[in-house]
Chains A and B, each alone.
Chain A
Amino acid sequence: MQSLTNRKKVIEQKPMNIWERMYLPAIAKGLSITLRHFFKKNNTIQYPEEVRPYSKNFRGRHSLKRDEQGRERCTACGLCALSCPAEAITMVAAERKKGEEHLYREEKYAAVYEINMLRCIFCGLCEEACPKEAIYLDGPHVTAEYVRKDFIYGKDKLLEPRFDITKLNEKE
């Protein structure tokens, strides 16, 4: 049959000659390639110790942010859960009591806030939906776990640790 394109190449198969049948030269050639790679730059890195530079808009683990006074920004409005295409987010709201003003910014806060990392597709829609700038996907990768239930991250894992912004320069 005539080919549609003329890119077809007919390969001729000839019996090997004595030089090829000796095999040793071919082995030496192969080993030389292997040896040459010892002196080349390594393409892999030792991951947890070394980290490659990430893109600025990399979306990793979520973190719940605090405001400049260290209060939780999240007000449990449920817009992240509503926007979540994977339905990974659940929350239970509670009312701020008198005397808790230093803990929560608004009069309502999330008493329970859970993200199922197995469901999450890291699309970042929760980040976009948040009216309080309370959630950002700025963390590292979600690490492996042994049990499925450990992938449900609660506030203990998600909430940003407190830090005093006034002491930021003292440390350095």
Chain B
Amino acid sequence: MADEVVKFKVTIDGIPVEVEPGTTILNAARKIGGDIVPPAMCYYSKLEGSGGKCRTCLVKVTKGSDKDPRPMPKLVASCRTTVMDGMEVQNITSPEVVEARKGVVEILLINHPLDCPICDQAGECKLQDLGYEHGAQNTRYEFERRTFDPISLGDKIQLHMNRCILCYRCVYVANQLTGEREHGVLYRGDHSEISTYIEKALDKDFIGNVIDVCPVGALTDKTFRFKNRVWFTKPVNAHRDCPTCSGKVTLWYKGEEVLRVTARKDEYGEVEDFICDTCRFEKKNTSDWVLEAPTQVDKESVIGANHYLQFNPPSVIKENKKLQAANAEQLQRTEPLK
């Protein structure tokens, strides 16, 4: 006899949803989607054990469950708290949560250098979005921020420790995807930093995924470093027959040139499939790939500026052979002036 699947009914900001037991509040909210999804800087659904570090996903539980309807005494991290039957959660409807999140953003930004004009992540940075949506306009921090020199982790990955918010995602990637982890978090508390001992180069396959999972610009692609701004490049979905990974990627074009290859990301900035380093760093020709379609970009994203949904948008000035023939003499005369 098949057991009937037990489903818990949760209400998030007044919207009911039925989820399986063991689901976290964050994932229940993602099932509903829209504005009520708490932002997450450290939680990554594809990485086991991630979450619970950044505290941006704080929510208020106003009713614990049907059996025990007392509210939870403090705000809870929704990425780590599992749902109970009849739970009622407030996210954006609770002023307390909004206020707390503002504080969390302020603390995340305490040591963040705010060098967005230089940073390659600007335009697709989660911390930028978070600061824009939930943060205060000015900083109240008057002390010196901690600074580090940029470190090259091999010839493909650049580490800017200044920008790191210690979400541990890259550590989990190295643990769970690559054979051996060579980097980690050194020191404790305020002194913590991501590093490798003796600045050892990271050269395991799949290590390039640390670039994609990094929510800020701490780990960036060295082959794309300062090449262009994200919003001037055009993302196109493509795939190739790769022996080690799924081969499904996004190519970032500037004109005819592929500037960068990343994994495909969903609306929460999480990759669909991790891609291998060969696809990411070595296949930068259109001939290596089978193009599918331009990537759908969120309409509020800056990347959507001048984003065309067809491959070869019509040129602004049409080439008119008849007109050129008629004006051949004038065009000839202007030729030496060019």
A131 to B115, CA, bound (A): 10
**A77 / chain B contacts, CB cutoff of 8 Å:** 116-118, 122, 229
A93-B117 in contact (CB<8A): no
Say if the beta carbon of B245 comes within 8 Å of chain A. Answer: no
B118-A107 in contact (CB<8A): yes
Binds B, one of A11-19, A24-32, A78-86: A78-86
Contact of B118 among A82, A106, A146, A149 (CB under 8 A): A106
**A146 / chain B contacts, CB cutoff of 8 Å:** 337
Contact of A108 among B226, B305, B337, B338 (CB under 8 A): B226
A78-B226 in contact (CB<8A): no
Closest A residue to B122 using CB positions: A77
A interface residue numbers (CB < 8 A to B): 75-79, 81-82, 93-95, 106-108, 131-132, 146-147, 149
Closest B residue to A111 using CB positions: B226
Number of A-B residue pairs, CB cutoff 8 Å, is 40
B residues 229-265 touching A (CB-CB < 8 Å)? 229, 231-232
Q: Given A106-B117, A131-B117: A147 and B225 within 8 A (CB)?
A: no
Closest B residue to A74 using CB positions: B117
**B337 / chain A contacts, CB cutoff of 8 Å:** 146-147
Q: Given A77-B229, A106-B115: A82 and B305 within 8 A (CB)?
A: yes
A79-B117 in contact (CB<8A): yes
Say if the beta carbon of B302 comes within 8 Å of chain A. Answer: yes
A149 to B334, CA, bound (A): 12
A93 to B117, CA, bound (A): 11
A106 to B113, CA, bound (A): 12
A82-B302 in contact (CB<8A): yes
Contact of B225 among A79, A81, A95, A132 (CB under 8 A): A95
Closest A residue to B114 using CB positions: A131
Contact of B232 among A78, A107, A132, A149 (CB under 8 A): A78
Closest A residue to B160 using CB positions: A107
A139 to B75, CA, bound (A): 55
**B150 / chain A contacts, CB cutoff of 8 Å:** 107
B226-A95 in contact (CB<8A): yes
CB distance from A100 to the nearest CB of B (A): 14
Closest B residue to A95 using CB positions: B226
**B232 / chain A contacts, CB cutoff of 8 Å:** 78, 81-82
CB distance from A134 to the nearest CB of B (A): 9
CB distance from B103 to the nearest CB of A (A): 25
B residues 98-157 touching A (CB-CB < 8 Å)? 115-118, 122, 150
